[in-house]
Structure formats: structure tokens, C-alpha cells
Structure 1
Amino acid sequence: MLDRLTSMAVFVQATQMGSFAAAAANLGMSPQMVARHIAALEQHLATRLLNRTTRKQSLTEFGRAYLERCQAVLAEVNAADALAQAAQAKPQGRLRINAPVTFGRHALMPLITRYLHDFPQVELELTLSDRRVDPVEEGYEAIVRIGPLDEHLAMVARPLRPYRLVACASPAYLKEHGTPLNPTDLARHECIGFSPWPVDLNRQWRFQQNGHDGEAAVASRLSINDWGAMHSAARSGFGIVLGPEHAVAEDLAAGRLVRVLPDFEAPARAMHLLYAADRRMTPKLRCFVERMIETFGGNQH
């Protein structure tokens, strides 16, 4: 029994080359075998595909329609084969990634170094920036974005775990100034602000409890545009900071910082991995995306 995909490919070649002999020469088979493939298709379809005379051949009306479908099917098969070959190819070349500063410094770097260790033929350029970059104009193959997405974003957006913030302070600060029990108590404390935030967000910290939202007025005499400096100020005992969960985890575990208002959650911000909507993703990018979803996927806690 002849393979139908092969018979379809032979049929396409026979119509494109204009004769069984030319198709046979191109395919490396005998003209008789070409004829067998065409006959097998016609028998399966119970209709004629070609009108053949001793001098020429021409497509029947059904044959023309069937030819278009065969070409479409074979193109999809070739695309699937190319996809499989790309999946098996080793990641290599230069990969440019952009991510927010604090997330990149504290959460992303372990993944980056493992990725480069596993794929030694890849060179990775990581740019950390809190501004909204244009991935196409600036040549980034993937970016991590925190916050709402643009409505008309022409990119694939893979959800990651929400970006969570926790309120914390040093034991020395809490010993001297007391521990807030409710968000409203923050008005009497030194609260370190993050200057890139909108003014209202630095004056009002939002919290949730049992699904209910609430705002607390805060006094931010000190506002800083860098998390490292905010972290240092909090650890030195200056005040309370609303810091990224992953960036304060070690200090909380070691007791250098203490979480305050543990019964209240600061609203988490959405976080996504963005990359171009390209059907032919390179192996280096595909492997990076897979690592990101595995490590920071949205269903993890």
C-alpha cells in the first residue's frame, strides 16, 4: 500500500513538472512508479485527477481543487518538520533580555546563570531598567514587565507569578518606635517612599484583608529611586519599607528585617514575560521562555 502523503507529493510534482517522466527524474523514481502513485490517489478518491493523452496531460476540474489542498497539506507538513528540527537544535547566539532592576537583581540572576551554564553557546545581554522599553525598536527578544499591559500590545504575553510587596522594618526601628497593628498606624511612622511611584501611591499605601481593599496614609520624608538604597535605609533602622517579597526574603528569614502588618496584604502587581509573536521562535529564546515559565509561572506560590 502506497503512503498517501508520498502520493500527494508525487501528484504535485507531476503537475508542476508537466510529465510523469520529468517528475520521476526529479524524485528519483521510475515513471511507472509515478503512475502508480497517481493511480492510487485516483482509486482512493474514486475520481480522475488528470486527463492524459499520448502527447500531454492536464488537470481535471476536481484535480485543480485537489492540487491546491495537497499543496496546503504538504506545506503544513514541511512546517511541522521544520518546527521539530528547530526544537532539537541547540540554543546558540546572542540573546537580549530586559527586566526591571529589582526583579532582575534579586530573582532573575540565578535563572540567567543556570541558563548560560546549560547552554554554553549562548551569549546573553541582560539590561535592567525600570522604564518601559520598546522591545522592537531597542532590539530585545524578551522583556519582563510589571504592571498593566498596553491594550494594543502586539506581543505574546505569558503571565508570571504576581509581583508581591511586603511591609517590613528592622528590629531596632520597631523597638524604638513600636509595631503598627493596623495600616492606619503607619501615619505615625517613618515610611520610606519609592520615588518612581506616582505621588498618590507614595502617600497612600494600599492593603487588602479578607478580600477588602483599604488605603493608609503614610509619611514619606525619604523617597528614593533605587531599591538597594531603600533596603539599606530600612536595615539601618530608619523606617518601614514596602519591599518586593523576593528581595526581602533572606533578611526576613535571618531576622534582619521583620514583617509588619502580617494580616494585611499589599496588592500584588501583574507580571508578564513578553516576546514577539513569531511562529519560528529561535531555540535560544524558546529555552529561555520555558525556563521562565517553569521558575516564575503564574500558578506557583
Structure 2
Amino acid sequence: MDQLQSMRVFVKVAELGSFARAATHLDLSNAVVTRHVADLEGRLGTRLMHRTTRSLSMTEAGQVFLERAKQILEEIEDVEQMVSARTQEPVGTLRIAAPVVFGMHNLAPALQSFTQRYPRVVPDLTLVDRVIDLVDEGYDVGIAIAGTVRSASVVSRRLTTGCLVVCAAPEYLEKRGVVETPQGLTDHDCLTLSPSPTGDEYIFTGPHGEVRVRTRSVITTNNTEMLRQFTLQGMGIAVLPSYLVGNDLAHGRLVRLLPDYRLAPFDINVIYPSRRHMPAKLRTFIDHLVEHFSQTPNGMLGEKWLIDASPITSFVPPRRDDEVESAVRVYS
């Protein structure tokens, strides 16, 4: 008999606790259901179920086989759905939720290339800085910083890993000087995000291990882009995500500080309700996002950019207002 079909029958009998109920559910006769289970036991050389006229229970071997059989059947179904979805043309509206700042600075190129590749899919993007329920709120897919999703019912797939950068504007450093150690932050004006998971305390990993620093905030805001604007105005030192300030650092509008110290990196994930019965528009979008961010320059997102960048060891103020890019002297 078909071994996969026998496994399906066995799993259904175990789930429903009855040969008769399994036969009705699968639209098979009782005799065929019984033969499938008996054939499985013959192949394995062991009894999987204890049967009486009134009850049915699993043997120890049956329980082990049941758990693995479920996994195998689910994996086969996933593969079948994946292949089937790729033969369908992606079409329809795709509702997407993403954090405000990450979406504003990173999603436009990904959506542009996606719509060029799949013109019959219409992305409907909502930027929101709060915990959302994908299913209840009707979203097909979301992008989230790891640790901000509280539901165990969603599937997540990593897109990229971001890092946090301590930085300030050249104008601020001209007045106040470069910070050499995390402890030096206590003598500077700090700009902070509110609410922050760690409050006003930062935990750095450096050459001599962990360093904890509690800073003095001169201004707080609940928006990361606003925090960037304060920093660009020379109002103080801020900790900002690399995906937000990569271009500012590359063009000298901001200066990276404390190159020998790291704050904890964070994963950015694509999340979706279930792998089952995934429409082509959703599967292709997820695959496209993963591909897009795997090719994203490290300067915009990842820790590798921090490692590759030459460390800033001293600061030279600009001679003129239009020489901001020459304000940072870099030594190898």
C-alpha cells in the first residue's frame, strides 16, 4: 500500500481516537483504514496502537512514530504548496505593515524592484510604531525588530541584522570634543529615545568586557527620525540604528564615536501568519525581501560595516561651513 497514505491514515486515526471516525473523515471504508494501519505496523515490525472494542490508545513506539509522522507530512505539504505557489501568477493587493523609520529609509527600493518584477501585485504599505496583530488587523505580512513581536502564532524569517551607532554632528564635537570611552558620555549632552527598553542606561561590549553607562539626557523623543534630526543639528550625542544614519556617516554629516565598543545588534525580521496555503503574492514578496536585503550594502545596515570602517581617533574642525566632509581625520 502507499506508505505516505498509510501515514496520513494513521495520524488521522490517532487524532480522532477512532478507526470509524477516521474512515468517515477520509471518505474511506473501515476495512481500508484498518489495512493501512496494519500495513504500517507490518513494515515497522511493531504494534503502534492498542485496540479494544471500546478504546484505542498509542503504544510507546506509536507515540514516537506519530510525532515524527506529523512533521514529515507537514513538510511534504509545505513543499507541495511552495511548488504550487510558484506556478501561479502573483496577483492582488498585498497589505504590509512596517516600523515607520525603517520603512521610510529602507523599503522604497525593495518595493520598487518587487512591483517591476510582479506588476499585478499592488503593495499597500502601512507604517506604524506599535505592536500589531497581523491576523486581526488584516495584514498579509509585517516587518518587525526582533523582540517586538509577542505572538507565538506568526512565522518569522530574518531579513538582516542591524547595529546601533554612537554618533554626533561635527559641530557638536568641535565645541565639546570626542568621547574616548563609554564613561565619557556622562560628561556630554545625550539625546535619547523615549520610551527606551533600557531607560537611560547603555551596555557596551569593549576590549575589557562589559561596560554599563547611565547618561544624562538633554532632550528625548519618541521618534527615531526626530532623534536623528536633533543630532544633525549638533544638539548632542545619540545612539542611532545603522540603517538610519549610514549615509550621514558616509558623507560626514555625522561622526561615529567609540569605535572599539559595541552595543547589542538586533535582527530585523519579516513576519507572516502561517506557512500553510500561502498565496503566490505573499511567498514571492517574502523571497524578494530576503534576496533584496542579502544584497544591501553593509554600510546601511550591518555590523560588518562597523568592522570594515576605519576607526575615528581624532577630530579636526572644518575650516569653512562647506568643508563638513573634511572635518573627520581618519587614521588607520
Question: TM-score, normalized by length of structure 2?
Answer: 0.64
Please say if 1:261 is aligned against 2:258. yes
Identity percentage of aligned residues: 32
* Bigger radius of gyration: 1
| Cα distance change, pair 128–213 in 1 and its aligned pair in 2 (3 A) | farther
Please say if 1:104 is aligned against 2:103. yes
Deviations 1:95-119 (A, max 9, x none): 0111111111112221112111221
Please say if 1:284 is aligned against 2:281. yes
In structure 2, which of residues 29, 32, 35 is the aligned counterpart of residue 65 of structure 1? 35
- Partners of 2:270 and 2:179 in 1: CA distance: 36
Partner residue in 2 for 1:115: 114
Partner residue in 2 for 1:220: 217
Contact kept in structure 1, 2:203 and 2:211, CA below 8 Å: yes
Partner residue in 1 for 2:239: 242
Deviations 1:102-159 (A, max 9, x none): 1111122211121112211111111111110111111111111213265761111112
Partner residue in 2 for 1:129: 128
- Partners of 1:177 and 1:296 in 2: CA distance: 37
Q: Any idea what SS the aligned residue of 2:218 has? A: coil
- Partners of 2:150 and 2:220 in 1: CA distance: 31
- Partners of 2:239 and 2:188 in 1: CA distance: 13
Partner residue in 2 for 1:182: 181
Q: Any idea what SS the aligned residue of 1:168 has? A: strand
Q: Map 1:84-103 onto structure 2 (within 5 A).
A: 84-103=83-102
- Partners of 2:191 and 2:211 in 1: CA distance: 19
Partner residue in 1 for 2:56: none
Contact kept in structure 2, 1:171 and 1:256, CA below 8 Å: yes
Match of 1:65, as an amino acid?
R
| Cα distance change, pair 62–147 in 1 and its aligned pair in 2 (3 A) | closer
For residue 214 of structure 1, report the CA deviation from its aligned partner: 2.1
Deviations 1:165-214 (A, max 9, x none): 1011111110100000000101111111111324xx34212221258332
Q: Any idea what SS the aligned residue of 1:222 has? A: strand
Deviations 1:216-252 (A, max 9, x none): 1211120012222211111111111111101111111
Contact kept in structure 2, 1:202 and 1:220, CA below 8 Å: no
Please say if 1:193 is aligned against 2:224. no
For residue 77 of structure 1, report the CA deviation from its aligned partner: 9.4
- Partners of 1:284 and 1:211 in 2: CA distance: 49
Deviations 1:40-94 (A, max 9, x none): xxxxxxxxxxxxxxxxxxx99679735999xxxxxx9999766534212221101
For residue 288 of structure 1, report the CA deviation from its aligned partner: 1.0
- Partners of 1:124 and 1:282 in 2: CA distance: 14
For residue 162 of structure 1, report the CA deviation from its aligned partner: 2.3
- Partners of 2:170 and 2:278 in 1: CA distance: 49
Partner residue in 1 for 2:155: 156
Contact kept in structure 2, 1:141 and 1:276, CA below 8 Å: yes
Match of 1:288, as an amino acid?
F
| Cα distance change, pair 78–253 in 1 and its aligned pair in 2 (3 A) | closer
- Partners of 2:35 and 2:208 in 1: CA distance: 60
- Partners of 1:78 and 1:218 in 2: CA distance: 53
Match of 1:241, as an amino acid?
A
For residue 163 of structure 1, report the CA deviation from its aligned partner: 2.7
Contact kept in structure 1, 2:81 and 2:276, CA below 8 Å: no
Structure 2: state its 5+ residue gaps.
6-28, 40-74, 305-332
Please say if 1:208 is aligned against 2:205. yes
Question: TM-score, normalized by length of structure 1?
Answer: 0.70
- Partners of 1:235 and 1:220 in 2: CA distance: 16
Structure 1: state its 5+ residue gaps.
9-58, 70-75
| Cα distance change, pair 101–82 in 1 and its aligned pair in 2 (3 A) | closer
- Partners of 1:222 and 1:273 in 2: CA distance: 32
